[in-house]
Structure 1
Amino acid sequence: MAFILRGLEAGACLSAIAFLLGLAAVTWLPDELHMWQSFPIPRMLAILIIPVIAFAFSLFLSLITSCDPRLASQSTTSGAAIAAVIALPCLFAVPLEILIVYAGSTGHLGTAPFVILACLLDFALCAIFKYVEPNYVVGIRCLWTLRNDHVWADTHFFASCIFLVTGVVGLVLVFFVPPGLWQLLVIAGLFFAPTAISVLYSYIIREEAQYIVR
């Protein structure tokens, strides 16, 4: 439980930083922010929405993690990795808040910064997943990984490599893929492709890891 509180505390601090960054720009932002030259959003709502949603998501992660029956068996390293995942939405709230302020002040924001953020998320998951021990909340959770610790360990080592490769590919594609819809498709691929490949890998190795249905 202690590592959940640490993750939530880190998330609260990061959300506060994101809010303060937005608040620092309140004097020179217009009364309404027009994102992508549409969608008029009141200034304070635009400043508040990212930190609030990010912290709410971190709070949700902490609540469902605290209900995990495998929580007590986590090592210190795995607990720290899970705490990092809990704080992750609030960590990304900081650059997102900067992008919101930029979009509000200039009236323009392309999709390229969001591709780069998706790549950074892949790199973060690459660093985290290889340390996460079997649980029901964080990681590649499927029939085969949850029932066999060997499959879990092998799959998450593989997933770390895949998330790293996918993040690098995304950083390359951002310079070649046209902005707009095509870059949004790249973002979707950066989220779903490594997860799907890792689940497929866990299915392939289930027999080699002496998978036993219990």
Structure 2
Amino acid sequence: MRVRKKTMKKNNIELVNYFLIGISVAMSAISYPFLPDSIPIHWNYNGVVDEYGSKLIVLSVIPIGIFLLYLLLRYVPRIDPRKKNYERFSRTYSWFRVSILMILVVLQGVTILVSFGLTLNMGMIIQIGLGALFIFLGNLMPKIQPTYFVGIRTPWTLANDKVWHRTHQLAGKVWVICGFLMIPLALIPVGFIQFAVLIVLIVVMVLVPTIYSYYIYKKN
């Protein structure tokens, strides 16, 4: 009974992925006839569009890219030498995949809105979106089991399961804190400072768990 319940929950989460892919395709198909031939594809750190691309290519590539990423994330566990560990955090991994697809679909929607002429601060939106994503992923981090494709993969976490778990417990806290900092700091009006703050926080999120994993490994 428990196995059946677990399978149903997993299938429900999978339906969320299908829904997100469908939304991505629908947004491109519905907006295509109404958009100009060239639409924004890149913004500088001041949030100003500095590069345009063909709407046919952009609106085709984004849904295809999201679908290919979905396939990659779904089937990569099959080639992982530690694939059995995915079963130990299957629900967490499912939500991890949903969160990645969701942020991409949101960014696609924002890009389409800007293409219609709506004035939006892209830097602020990206930073707030990333902040929310990192808060969510930070809460998932302690549940991730040792694998070669998901998580904080340093030589020291991969060499020792105890180091892996302790590193991910710390990383989860660091990611949540940095995620919460990103959201209010996204309101900084100066584009360059806003961009610099984002980069600094991401560096902290990478370096702290990496250095800690080495420290714990040496300590043991």
Measure the CA separation in 1 of the matches of 2:142 and 2:180.
18
Where is the helix percentage greater, Structure 1 or Structure 2? 2
Inter-CA distance 182–66: structure 2 relative to 1 (3 Å threshold): farther
2:34 corresponds in structure 1 to: 28
2:134 to 105, 117, 122: 122
Alpha-carbon spacing, 1:185–1:16, altered in 2? closer, same or farther (3 Å):
farther
Identity %: 22
Q: Which residue of 1 aligns with 2:24?
A: 18
1:8 shift after superposition: 6.9
Q: Displacement, 1:167?
A: 0.6
| Deviation of the 1:50 alpha carbon | 2.4
Partner of 1:48: 60
Pairwise mapping of residues 41-80 of structure 1 onto structure 2 (< 5 A)? 41-76=53-88, 78-80=89-91
| Bigger Cα displacement from structure 2, 81-90 vs 135-144 | 81-90
Paired AA for residue 139 in structure 1? G
Query: Which blocks of at least 5 consecutive residues in structure 2 are unaligned?
Result: 1-6, 42-47
Change over 3 Å in CA distance of 1:144–1:38 after alignment to 2: closer
Letter in 1 for 2:215: I
Q: Partner of 1:41: helix, strand, or coil?
A: strand
The correspondence of residues 127-206 of structure 1 with structure 2, limited to 5 A, is 127-176=139-188, 178-179=190-191, 181-206=192-217
TM-score (norm 2): 0.79
Q: What one-letter code is carried by the residue in structure 1 that aligns with 2:29?
A: L
1:115 Cα shift? Answer: 0.8
User: Structure 2 vs 1, CA of residues 73 and 43 (structure 1 numbering), >3 Å: closer, same or farther?
Assistant: closer
- The 2-side partners of 1:34 and 1:138 are apart by 32
Count, aligned residues: 205
Q: 1:85/1:34 Cα in 2 relative to 1: closer, same or farther (>3 Å)?
A: closer
Query: Could you say what secondary structure the match of 1:33 adopts?
Result: strand
1:8, 1:59 within 8 Å by CA — same for their partners in 2?
no
> Secondary structure in 2 aligned to 1:150?
helix
CA deviation vs aligned residue, 1:143-165 (integer Å, no higher than 9, x gap): 11111111111111111100000
Amino acid corresponding to residue 118 of structure 1 in structure 2? L
**CA distances 1:62-99 after superposition (whole Å, capped 9, x unpaired):** 343321121114444x1222233334332112211111
User: What amino acid maps onto 1:158 in structure 2?
Assistant: L
Distance in 2, matches of 1:10 and 1:129, equals 21
Q: 1:40 to 1:199 in 2, by over 3 A?
A: closer
Instruction: Indicate the structure whose relative CO is greater, using CA pairs within 8 Å and at least 6 residues apart.
Output: 1
